[in-house]
Amino acid sequence: MLRRLILIFSLLLLFTTSFAQDLVIKGKVTSNSNVVAKANVRLVEMQRSTQTNVDGEFGFVVLKAGSYHLRITAVGYKTQLNKVDISSDTVLNFNLIEQKEDLKEVVITGTQKEVNRLESPVPVEIYTAKFFQKNPTPSIFDALQNINGVRPQLNCNICNTGDIHINGLEGPYTMVMIDGMPIVSSLSTVYGLSGIPSSLVERVEVVKGPASSLYGSEAVGGLINIITKDVSKAPSLSADFMTTSYLEHNLDLGFKAKIHPKVNVLTGVNYFKYGNKIDQNHDNFTDVTLQDRISVFQKWNFSRKENRLFSLAGRFLYEDRWGGEMNWTKAHRGGDEVYGESIYTKRFEVLGNYQLPIKEKMFFAFSLTNHNQDSRYGETSYIAQQNIAFSQLTWDKKLGNHDLLFGTALRYTYYKDNTVATFSQPENTYLPGIFTQDEIKLAQKHSLLLGMRYDYNSNHGNIFTPRFAYKINFNETSILRLNAGTGFRVVNIFTEDHAALTGAREVVIENDLKPEKTYNVNLNYLKKLYATNGNIFTFDVSAFYTHFTNRIVADYETNTSQIIYDNLDGYAVSKGLTGNLDVSLNFGLKLNAGITLQDVGLIEDGIKMQQILTEKWLGTWSVSYLINKLNLGIDYTGNIYGPMRLPLLDELRDPRQPHSPVWSLQNIQFTYRGFKNLEVYGGVKNLLNFKPTRNNPFIIARANDPFDKQVQFDPNGNAVAMPNNPYGLTFDPSYVYAPNQGIRGFFGLRYNLS
């Protein structure tokens, strides 16, 4: 009897386990034949998650057969949701699509409305935060050196202020915006790109070429639009700390909070500190400006009915920077004993965008900026205040095959400094304007864009800027674009040219300066190739031409103790070719390379002269490779520049090189991603140890006599050659084209909590 019971119990147990046996789901996640480690795989119905291992493998145990959904997410890849039917142990393989800068991405900068990159009649280049992490820098200003045709230019050897050149055009011709608002302009152009927390930057959109018909003055050479992260998609906490062997320390913090069911807040803090005096060229001047900078950025998103937009953002920036003789202290500020250039900057920014609660698609956007600067350049003081209020109302309307945009804008600028220009009478400028744009779908592959803007400048009167664009889509991977238009720029030299304030030069304005006018044309062709083996190639080629009238130029050479400003009695031209190549290979290698050939010259009395501090060609590259088994990424980035004409004090007597050599800044970085939510990175910057002191007897003229106390002048104000001044020079730090920092190591930690 007992044996029968044992036999029956064993049979029942065998029968039960055979029907209740757990089923195993396992698989592998790859992308273009490369394994994807640390991808999140979630079994939706069971609310269970796991991560792929270093080989891209994952596994689940389920209790019963049935239909399930697997959601797979990974940083840098598009999310996949897959339905699977499970009746027995199952092996699944998934191929993720990389979230790359492709033609389907949404851009807003070219037309002031959201369109995918494929449909935009204006060529827009997109650079994500991941792109800039290949060569980490303490500011967006420095990061732009990795973009072809864009060059951060240092304008002062001592204070290290600078501007952004696009296709050879100087900084004042480039408009810089945050989230589409032109908050960086005039006085703040030098400093506005510093202190934007990198942890909050979603991407940077770059438009090379005319844009004045939509954005007005300062958008002659191009646009740089810094798009901050969407609050709803930003990580809960992010942190990035980097230090270098020069003892530069940079900290980025970002975090978000939901303070109300309909209110999300994103906050970012950037702090940069460099307090290490270095004088490797032994001229008794600091090689690199010492800086203490803090910036706080906050963005508020408000949920509204029908998903209407409402966002507010603000930023505060404070910076204390100085450079000068090694024994300079703040007690010497503004004096004539020890030379130093000391700049205190305080800046506030507020910007907002509100979609009106009506059926029509109308937006009201605004920005307010307050910029205060207290500077000393030796004995020369420059104390300035600038307030800008900007508002804009746009109406986006579609009628048949017409995609219309109407807008009106008002800009008010208050500017005052302690120079003769505005000391007794502050400058108040009103700039109301209206604009319209019509994008016409002529056929399936053809579209035409027509635009017109009218502005009234309270100082200079009526200004018209028309715009034209034509786009042909040969197919979804091949696009030809032609853009043309006019532009204008009203100049305030004291807010844009810091060379006018350094070196104790006297500023001379020959005549009343007239506004500059430009005529632009740009032809762009983009082609994307998808190989059968998974390799992807993208070609982007452009030809550009800009013609200037009333070009304002600075003459450094007629009188060595003066800078003479006047409208050019002739015209100026900027023309050239630029090309980009993006390659993504199926074994994990990525290449981005670009080259720009440009000719920027001033033509007067039939004589053409190359613009100072403008190279005839430049190239950039980045090569990235991920070793999955080691969780190790390698990035090799660099740029190379052709010769440029440099500002000599005297073409015959100044012994410094009249043209820069071919020079290059190259960097390598290693990033370890083997920790959860944490990346460790480090590498070497300026691998070739290039410095502008090469083949030059000195960089700063008369560094031993910065107040020209031992210089003798002739009746015309020119320095006279003497035994203690054999070249007949005056003190001048404007001879600069490249950073003075040599080879240096860097190390950093990057943390993200989703």
> Where are the alpha helices (H) located in 66-157, listed in sequence order?
129-132, 140-143
CA distances 549 to 450, 451, 546, 566, 573, Å, are 23, 22, 10, 12, 9
Which pLDDT score is estimated for 17? 43
Comparison of pLDDT for 192 and 660, the residue scoring more: 660
- Secondary-structure breakdown of the chain: helix, strand, coil percentages, each rounded to the nearest 5: 10, 55, 35
CA distances 181 to 31, 315, 730, Å, are 37, 13, 42
Stated as kind and residue range, the H or E segment containing 447 is strand 446-457
List of domains in the chain: 21-95 (2.60.40.10), 106-227 (2.170.130.10), 228-415+425-753 (2.40.170.20)
Structure tokens at 178: 């945050």
Which pLDDT score is estimated for 31? 81
- Reading phi first (left if > 0) and then psi (alpha if -120 to 50, else beta), residue 216 is in left
Is residue 215 classed as helix, strand or coil in its secondary structure?
helix
Is residue 424 classed as helix, strand or coil in its secondary structure?
coil
For tokens 């396992």, what's the residue?
A: 26
Which pLDDT score is estimated for 36? 83
Which pLDDT score is estimated for 225? 87
Which pLDDT score is estimated for 561? 64
Least confident of 334-338, 513-517, 600-604: 513-517
Mean pLDDT taken over the chain:
85
pLDDT of 185 > 60? The answer is no
CA distance 458 to 427: 11
Exposed/middle/buried for residue 108 (C-beta within 10 Å: 0-12, 13-18, 19+): middle
Least confident of 56-65, 189-198, 311-320, 580-589: 189-198
CA distance 325 to 283: 9
Comparison of pLDDT for 550 and 272, the residue scoring more: 272
DSSP 218-250: T-SSEEEEEEEPPTTTS-SEEEEEEEETT-EEE
Which pLDDT score is estimated for 13? 45
pLDDT of 42 > 70? The answer is yes
Which pLDDT score is estimated for 424? 67
CA distance 638 to 622: 7
DSSP 145-174: GGSTTEEEEE--TTT--EEEEETTB-GGGE
Q: How far apart, in Å, do the first and last CA atoms of the chain sit?
A: 63
Which pLDDT score is estimated for 107? 64
Least confident of 9-23, 232-246, 265-279: 9-23
pLDDT of 20 > 50? The answer is no
- What is the CA angle 236-241-247, rounded to 5? 165
Stated as kind and residue range, the H or E segment containing 496 is helix 493-496
- Long-range contact pairs involving 247-250 (C-beta distance under 8 Å, separation at least 24): 247/274, 247/275, 247/276, 248/138, 248/272, 248/273, 248/274, 248/276, 249/273, 249/274, 250/138
Are 196 and 539 contacting, i.e. CB atoms less than 8 angstroms apart? no
DSSP 726-753: TT----B----SS-S--SEEEEEEEEEE
Residue 546 phi/psi, 5° resolution? -135, 130
Q: How confident is the model at residue 18 (pLDDT cuts 50, 70, 90)?
A: very low
Give per-residue pLDDT as tens, 482-500: 999 888 777 665 554 544 4
CA distance 152 to 142: 7
For tokens 């950037």, what's the residue?
A: 270
Which pLDDT score is estimated for 39? 82
Residue 305's CB is within 10 A of a number of other CB atoms, namely 6
Residue 90 phi/psi, 5° resolution? -130, 140
pLDDT of 727 > 80? The answer is yes
pLDDT of 697 > 90? The answer is yes
DSSP β-ladder status, 478-489 and 516-530: antiparallel
DSSP β-ladder status, 506-509 and 562-567: parallel
CA distances 715 to 548, 712, 727, Å, are 36, 10, 18
pLDDT of 449 > 70? The answer is yes
Which pLDDT score is estimated for 102? 54
CA distance 562 to 648: 13
For residue 705, which amino acid is it?
A: D
For residue 82, which amino acid is it?
A: N
Is the pTM above the cut of 0.75?
yes
Is residue 129 classed as helix, strand or coil in its secondary structure?
helix
CA distance 557 to 700: 16
DSSP β-ladder status, 380-399 and 115-116: unpaired
Q: How confident is the model at residue 656 (pLDDT cuts 50, 70, 90)?
A: very high
CA distance 177 to 192: 9
- What is the CA angle 28-33-38, rounded to 5? 45
Residue 558's CB is within 10 A of a number of other CB atoms, namely 11
Give per-residue pLDDT as tens, 66-89: 888 888 877 667 778 888 887 777
pLDDT of 33 > 80? The answer is no
CA distance 82 to 133: 31
Are 554 and 497 contacting, i.e. CB atoms less than 8 angstroms apart? yes
Q: How confident is the model at residue 560 (pLDDT cuts 50, 70, 90)?
A: low
pLDDT of 200 > 80? The answer is no
Which pLDDT score is estimated for 15? 43
CA distance 516 to 487: 8
Q: How confident is the model at residue 101 (pLDDT cuts 50, 70, 90)?
A: very low
Which pLDDT score is estimated for 579? 96
Mean pLDDT of 527-548: 88
Mean pLDDT of 221-249: 89
